[in-house]
Amino acid sequence: MNRRVLILTILICLGIIIACVIAGSTYYTRITVPIGLTQDLIQTQGAATTSSFSLLATDSAIKTQAAMPTPTPLPTLTLIPTSTLVPTIPPQQEICDAVVQGTSRAVYPFPGLGHSLFIKLLEVGTKLKILGRIGDNDWYKVEINGEQGWMKSDSLRVLNSCKPTLFDLHYLANWLNQDENLILEDTFSANANIWIDTESQESILVNTTPGGESALSIQAENERVITTTNPRVSDVPEFKLYTSFTVEKASDQSSFGIRFRDSGSEYYQISLSPASCKIDVYATGKLVYSNNMNLKTCIDRYYDIYMVMSSDYKLSMQINGFDPISINLQDSDGRYGHGKIDLVADKIDVKMDYIVVTAPK
């Protein structure tokens, strides 16, 4: 009996083992993949992984490059002198109320004492508007009864603690047209230009009063040619020139004037002789024009000059508001076509208040 039980037990165990073997073989076959397919899958997965890494690396590089700005090479600095002066952008205007005071109560057409706009002085206490001032704080542009002119700052009392607006002279005086360039402006208040004696190379002093008035002080025992180191006036064949000066000391032989189209060997020159009230024009030392001016032009020591030189050699000028002078200069050899602008003083002491030069574009 026991033997039968033992044999039965053994058979049951063998059946269980055989059943397990058959079941395991079937399961293994279901999950096994052909070798070639397995390699392709591994290669594909590897390639995908590598591709993903490369993309991430590239994206990282792009982000890094984007975060780091590309260095820009610095341009080589080349100094090129400009032929024109860029005007300052006019500030916002503040118009001030003022009343007339003191003894110097004249109104002038320009910021100079050459001639007055009205025959009579303004009454003390007269009210007017201040439209602006220039750099040396010595002159105000004013408006009274619809008329505009210029007055000395010490002849006005500004009301309500108002501060007149600072403007460039050419802007307040309306001396620059749309078809013109500003070549030179100097009121001598900011040392914008250096003025020198062409022979000695000595600098010409700028004197400033305690009230802020600035002027170029020229003293000449003999003829002196005064020039500016500003390169913009080195070649100005046609131009408009505005200037105002005061004769401090003079004799019968004294003269003061403008030399233009100065090439070094040839030049034109106008010379004003205060004692004789005469204007002379020279072409390289040769007198080509002479005229006795109205004696009222030289009644005092103040001179305002407006001068125009055109491309066709026509010279026009007006001194202290009197009748303009017009001269047709000759240049048959073409020797006077170009050159710079200089000041010329001979046996005279002069205080120049300003000089402005414009030229066609």
Q: What is the Cα–Cα distance from 310 to 239, expressed in whole angstroms? A: 7
pTM of the complete model beyond 0.95: no
For residue 107, the SS3 value is coil
User: Alpha helices of the chain — where are they, by DSSP H?
Assistant: 2-31, 35-67, 169-172
| CA 47 distance to own-chain centroid | 65
Q: What are phi and psi of 138, to 5 degrees?
A: -100, -25
User: Alpha helices of 32-153 — where are they, by DSSP H?
Assistant: 35-67
pLDDT of 33 reads 36
Q: Which residue type does 44 have?
A: T
Q: Which residue intervals of the chain bear CATH 2.60.120.560?
A: 176-360
Q: Write out the E strands in the chain.
A: 96-100, 127-133, 139-144, 147-152, 156-158, 180-186, 195-197, 206-208, 214-220, 224-228, 239-262, 268-273, 278-283, 286-292, 302-309, 314-319, 325-328, 340-360
| CA 178 distance to own-chain centroid | 16
Which residues, at least 6 apart from 215, have a Cβ–Cβ distance to it below 8 Å? 188, 206, 207, 246, 351, 352, 353
Q: Which residue intervals of the chain bear CATH 2.30.30.40?
A: 96-169
DSSP readout, 311-340? TTSEEEEEETTS--EEEE---TTS-SS--E
With CA atoms as reference, report the closest residue to 325 among 272, 284, 361. 272
Per-residue pLDDT 10s for the chain (361 aa) are 455 656 666 666 666 666 655 555 444 443 333 333 333 333 333 433 333 333 333 333 333 333 333 333 333 333 334 455 666 667 788 999 999 999 989 999 989 888 888 889 999 999 999 999 998 778 999 999 999 999 999 999 999 999 999 999 999 999 999 999 999 999 998 877 999 999 999 999 999 888 778 999 999 999 999 999 999 999 999 999 999 999 999 999 999 999 999 999 999 999 999 999 999 999 999 999 999 999 989 988 999 999 999 999 999 999 999 889 999 999 999 999 999 999 999 999 999 999 999 999 9
The CATH code of domain 176-360 reads: 2.60.120.560
Pair of tokens at residue 143: 């408006």
Q: What is the Cα–Cα distance from 128 to 41, expressed in whole angstroms? A: 98
pLDDT of 251 reads 94
The strand pairing partners of 319, in sequence order, are 305
With CA atoms as reference, report the closest residue to 211 among 104, 135, 136. 136
The strand pairing partners of 7, in sequence order, are none
**Looking at the domain 96-169, which fold is it?**
SH3 type barrels. (2.30.30)
Pair of tokens at residue 28: 């293994």
Are 223 and 346 in contact by the 8 Å Cβ rule? The answer is: yes
